[in-house]
Structure 1
Amino acid sequence: MVAFDSSTTGSEVVAAFSERVSGKTFVITGASYGGLGSHTALLLAAANPAEIVLLGRSEDKSSQVMKEIRETSPSTVVRFVKIDLMSCASVRAAAAEIKSSISKVDVLINNAGIMGARFSLTAENVESHLGANHIGHFLLTNLLVPKLEASGGGARVVNISSAMYEFSPVMFDNYNFSNGKTYNAWTAYGQSKTANILFAVALASKLEKKGIRSYSLHPGVIQTTGLSSGVDSAAWPIVEPMFESKNMEMPKEKNIEQGCATTLAAALDPALDDKSGSFLDDCNPRQVLEFASDASNADKLWALSEEIVGKKFCY
């Protein structure tokens, strides 16, 4: 059994489980060069996957990583699919394009996200963090379930969450912050990250009979990605007091190689086969607060998400 910890790199995880990469198809949201998603894709390329599908808002921002993937693994088919996770119409179009171009999905990595942004609403009138970080991925994942099922058992869905989920449960009765009147960027981010965890809990239960597993995780704080570039300057002064008020320690920083490790463990590690629905930190399962693990909250979020996207998904 391979032991991983906070210092483990993504390269080490891929090397340990290269046979679970070779010949497989990976779909990754959030593909801008220099980000966590693109670096995860580059590390996977070292073990010769069959296909890597990168989803993002701009192909220009992904062109360099696609070039490097092809250089690393010339046999790997690399595709870019445009997606705006704040628009259900865009998500549906992206899912349709993926379904028409590939036969199966072995691992779906829901990596894209925003953090600390000013208040705004998605096309479906949902607060932008919840919309981009959860609702868009909820719809995409469910639309791709037939392709995950086509992998023949063992497919995985990986949701990138954050230790900052502790900032807020999902506020089912006021997820839009009274239309912005009571808005706090970090509470909004925390709510969306809790949603990522609850979504993994729900998927693990609903898709178990299909042989599809699901995980959520905290990757670590990686300063070199573009995530913090979208933070509203007015939000920075309030983040430290929020950590203090919640009695939370600041999450430890990692370099991007270490930051990819837990994502790749969630995608590949066979030791997690019986841990579907788990939240991972430093490549290992960790307990979360009850509001983020409660099955009834997971069911409530599923029902709310179905209402927002206008479609029921029954398994």
Structure 2
Amino acid sequence: MPRTFNSAKDIPSLEEKVILITGGNAGIGASTVRALALHQPACIYLCARKISAAEALIQSIHETSPKANIVPLQLDLSSFDSIRRCAEEFNQQSDRLDILFLNAGICATPPTLTNEGYESQFGVNHVGHALLTQLLIPKMLRTQQDHPKADVRIHCTSSMGGVVFVPATGLDLQQMDKADAFSHGMVRYGHSKLSNILFARALAQHYPGINTTSSHPGTVKSDIWGKAYEEHKWLSRLLAPVVWMTGVSTDEGAKTQLWCATAATGKGNGLVENGKFYVPTGKLSDDNKNQKNQALVDELWEWTSKELAKHGAPGWPATI
């Protein structure tokens, strides 16, 4: 584990790399984009629900990193049509993809369903990202083939909510077509965040040449808490003072995923190990029964693959 991580100094050159990040317009996503822009990647594709929000951030970044090449893409993870359009636009514009940040997320929202009928938090935080990954991973495999020295990675932004708010029995995927699954928003959130951890493990197993990790950013003072407080007044009374007193900035919260996506890979202290879950900053967290349950990893992968196929998704490609 690195005792400190300075994104300005410790991230190596990103020259020639193409990066795509979801939810890159706000919170730790915006901080991630700002940090990456300092290291001159070939291009950062910034996905956001509102193009205007992405464009505003890009304009702000250009004040300090005027040469940064950042392209906005519209993406609504609650809509498979939007996900397909985003992936198609990216695949038409770029001939490679080196780093994919599955960063976007929602928390403790009111009971609603996505366009395709999944509980909204699970649908956005996991299912939508899974479809996007399925549509982009052929480009990542091609990047590996065409550029043998490329260091291709995927990072899933998760949360300790995937540990704290999920029962010891693990996921209950049969509930994921119900808006009010589990009758509590934070339990629904926990299922989506545990799924991020399990999905990263599954990707690492199916595509071992792509280093895939997940992480908890810490308790961050970000916009994600706003709707949670609105929906659950008790949560505001309980957590708001804690977040205010102990929470970290979005720049600090972005450090672990930046480390996971750019630090040296391998097994051992200070190295990024494929399939693992990390907490700030770069500390391996591998002691929760659910997150390392291979049966849950397999169940989620199979369930997700079947659900995506129902909606005409192309399926997972073979490794090249």
Q: TM-score range by the shorter chain?
A: 0.7 to 0.9
Q: Does 1:222 align with 2:220?
A: yes
Aligned equivalents of 1:303 and 1:181: distance in 2? 21
Partner of 1:108, secondary structure, is strand
Contact 1:163–1:218 (8 Å) recurs in 2: yes
Q: Equivalent residues in 2 for 1:1-315 (5 A)? A: 4-5=2-3, 8=4, 12-19=6-13, 21-33=14-26, 35-152=27-144, 153-166=150-163, 167-168=165-166, 169-177=170-178, 179-180=179-180, 182-208=182-208, 211-223=209-221, 225-231=222-228, 233-237=230-234, 253-272=247-266, 275-282=273-280, 283-310=282-309, 311=313, 312-315=315-318
CA distance in 1, matches of 2:272, 2:223: 34
Alpha-carbon contact 2:229-2:236 (below 8 Å) kept: no
How far apart are residue 297 of structure 1 and its match?
1.1
Equivalent residues of 2:109, 2:231 under 8 A apart: no
Give identity over the alignment, percent. 27
* Contact 1:105–1:148 (8 Å) recurs in 2: yes
Q: CA RMSD for the aligned pairs?
A: 2.3
**How far does the alpha carbon of each residue in 1:185-234 deviate from its partner, in whole angstroms, 9 at most, with x for none?**
000000000000000000000011xx2110000001111x2111221534
By how many angstroms is 1:299 displaced?
1.6
Q: CA deviation at 1:252?
A: 5.3
* TM-score, normalised with respect to structure 2: 0.85
Amino acid at match of 1:220: G
The answer (yes or no) to whether the contact 2:25–2:46 under 8 Å persists in 1 is no
CA 1:159–1:182 in 2, change beyond 3 Å: closer, same or farther? Answer: closer
Question: Structure 2: which 5+ residue stretches go unaligned?
Answer: 145-149, 240-244
TM norm structure 1 = 0.87
- The residue type equivalent to 2:205 in the other structure is S
Distance 1:234 1:96 in 2: 35
More divergent stretch after superposition (136-145 vs 282-291):
282-291
Deviation at 1:64, TM superposition (A): 2.3
Q: In the alignment, residue 15 of structure 1 is paired with which amino acid?
A: K
Q: Quick one: structure 1 residues 73 and 234, their matched pair in 2 at CA, closer, same or farther if it must change by over 3 Å?
A: closer
Query: Cα distance 1:234–1:146, how it changes in 2: closer, same or farther (>3 A)?
Result: closer
Alpha-carbon spacing, 1:213–1:271, altered in 2? closer, same or farther (3 Å):
closer
CA distance in 2, matches of 1:25, 1:74: 18
Assess, with a 3 A threshold, how the Cα gap between structure 1 residues 261 and 233 changes in structure 2: closer, same or farther.
Answer: same
CA deviations on 1:28-65 (whole Å, 9 max, x unpaired) are 100224x2111110111111111000001101112222
Q: For 1:88 and 1:62, locate their aligned partners in 2 and report how far apart those are by CA, in whole Å.
A: 20
Deviation at 1:280, TM superposition (A): 0.5
Q: 1-side partners of 2:109 and 2:257: how far apart?
A: 24
SS in 1 for 2:174: coil
Instruction: Decide whether the 8 Å contact of 1:104 with 1:150 is kept in 2.
Output: yes
> Structure 2: how far apart are the matches of 1:220 and 1:77?
29
Is 1:130–1:192's contact at 8 Å kept on the other side of the alignment?
Answer: yes
Q: Per the alignment, in what secondary structure is the counterpart of residue 157 of structure 1?
A: strand
Unaligned segments of structure 1, at least 5 residues: 243-250
The number of aligned residues is 296
Deviation at 1:174, TM superposition (A): 2.1
